[in-house]
Amino acid sequence: MSAADPLDRERMRRHNLGLVLRAVAEGDRPSRTDIALATSLHKTTVSSLVADLIDRELVREAGIAPDGTVGRPAVALELSGERYVAMGLEINVDHLVYRVVDLHGRVREQGSVRQDNRARPPSETLAALAELIVEPRLRIAQAGSVLVGATLALPGLVDPSRGLLLVAPHLGWRDVAVVDELRAALDTPDVHLRIENEANLAALAERWHGAGQTHEDFVYVSGYIGVGAGIVSNGDLHRGETGFGGEFGHLTLEANGPPCVCGGNGCVETLAGLDALLRLAGMGSSRQSRVDEVVDAAERGETRAVEAIETVGTLLGVGLASTANLLGSRAIVLGGYFAELYPWLRTPIEAQLRQRVLAFPWSPIEVLRSELRDGAAVSGAAGLALRAILDNPASAPASTTEPEDEEPATAVEGAVEADVALR
């Protein structure tokens, strides 16, 4: 036996622990036998791994399995999940949001503040976000839960591996070491933090719990101040080798069109984004409340508003048809204010897809409305942080030790101190 064997065995066990946990998460209250079948692992191995997962309070026994046969009924397993929570965070132009979600997907709590983040330096905004989550972190600790991590959704190009925001034109941010700054503001070095583009997170959330659940391949497009997008391919995010793929908002519709914040011309965002919509609808400045006015006017049947939305729909449809020709997507999911405009956008978008996508007659493309709406990005952010546990259950502490002796997954003491300091 070589010296590397115990390490290999440990690595294999950790890998199998993840396989079994995901089989429980994805199954319908499976028995140990069901899991052995689903994972091709030996039943004895499965029993040992399940015992480990029960010990870590990730899985629990839950009565008789649905297909338990007569004779010796099989015990059903389900995710336990209450002990482990993750935090989804979001910074956008005019708000900060947090949401605490447990492994069951239940929202424990959420909150937000409205503030104009364009008017202040990134460090101030990150400090405000850190302050917003002081109390929630304290409540997580008081409930005996473990914060496994937090993901921050940002409206721009991000490099998650370096924790760096490269550029967020609408926030006016460039080259910000977001993860380092937020960690410093939180005063806790051991919270697992990561950042991700907000539309990518929203696309993942729609894939996991929303309009994209039945689709392996779809394009999520959301209108907010800019136009964001996330491409889901084979059930996961498509980023391309650079990691920056999916920037549908900066697809060129008109080579010599009006200038865009990205430095290009005639992008989807400049021709079919919020400013363009409001201008076409005759409603001036770029305020989110104005979208409600456009919706109200369209509901009253006012021609100018309806025609403005239809023009935006046609332009989006032209861009989406090019995208669908390239990617072979089966569905488009409209989020942000595009979801509010869905009743009027759907028909012109479908008309362009029908006309321009070569394969459309054989493989029609569904135009769907976001189910998660404004909560999509923050839900995806929490979901991504929870994935860390599903991918590597061994990172969850076993409960054989007393709570005081546990490896702290979050600096509970830091949260308490911060809270006391605020009072």
Provide, rounded to whole angstroms, the least separation between the CB of residue 35 and Zn ion: 48
Q: In the complex, what is the shortest distance from the CB of residue 361 to Zn ion, in angstroms, rounded to a whole number?
A: 32
Distance CA 206, CA 233 (A): 13
Residue in 314, 296, 316, 294 with CA at minimum distance from that of residue 305: 294
Give residue for tokens 């059903």.
Answer: 76
CB of 366 to Zn ion, least distance (A): 27
Question: Across the chain, which distance is largest between two alpha carbons, in Å?
Answer: 79
- Pairing status of strand 75-79 against strand 218-223: unpaired
Of 347, 319, 413, 335, nearest to 374 by C-alpha is 335
CB 406 within 8 A of CB 119: no
Beta carbon nearer to Zn ion, 158 or 260: 260
Looking at beta carbons only, is 53 or 272 nearer to Zn ion?
272
How many whole angstroms from its chain centre is CA 114? 21
Q: Which helix (H) or strand (E) holds 96?
A: strand 95-102
Q: How far is the CB of 250 from Zn ion (least distance, A)?
A: 4
267/384 with CB nearer Zn ion: 267
Of 148 and 260, which CB lies nearer to Zn ion in the complex structure?
260
Binding site for Zn ion (CB under 5 A): 250, 260, 262, 264, 267
Q: Residues 6 or more apart from 321 whose CB is under 8 A from it?
A: 352, 353, 355, 356, 357
Residue 226 or 375 with smaller CB distance to Zn ion: 226
Nearer to Zn ion, 326 or 422 (CB): 326
**Closest separation in Å from C-beta 268 to Zn ion:** 8
Beta-bridge mates of residue 112: 97
Name which of 255 and 420 has its Cβ closer to Zn ion. 255
| Rounded distance between C-alpha atoms, residue 129 and residue 183, angstroms | 11
Least spacing, CB of residue 63 vs Zn ion, in Å = 55
Select 193 or 229, whichever has its Cβ closest to Zn ion.
Answer: 229
The values of phi and psi at residue 237, to 5°, are -70, 135
CB of 278 to Zn ion, least distance (A): 18
Please state the closest distance from residue 261 (CB atom) to Zn ion, in A: 6
Adjacency order of strands within the sheet including 331-336: 236-237, 227-233, 218-223, 331-336, 366-369
Distances in Å between the Cα of 114 and the Cα atoms of 97, 143, 318 are: 9, 28, 34
Cα–Cα distance for residue pair 253/257, rounded to 1 Å: 8
Instruction: Kindly state the smallest distance separating residue 256's Cβ from Zn ion, in Å.
Output: 14
The label of the residue with tokens 């209450």 reads 82
Supply 270's token pair.
Answer: 């400049």
State in angstroms the smallest separation of the CB of 374 from Zn ion: 24
Structure tokens at 317: 């449809």
Using the minimum distance from each CB to Zn ion, give the nearer residue, 265 or 325.
Answer: 265
**CA–centroid distance for 332 within its chain:** 17
**For residues 247 and 350, which CB has a smaller minimum distance to Zn ion in the complex?**
247
249 vs 375, beta carbon nearer Zn ion: 249
CA separation for the pair 408, 140 (Å, rounded) = 13
Cα 45 off chain centre by: 33
DSSP, res 81: -
Q: Which two tokens stand for residue 382?
A: 């929490």
CB of 419 to Zn ion, least distance (A): 43
Question: Among residues 244, 201, 239, which one has the least CA distance to residue 220?
Answer: 201
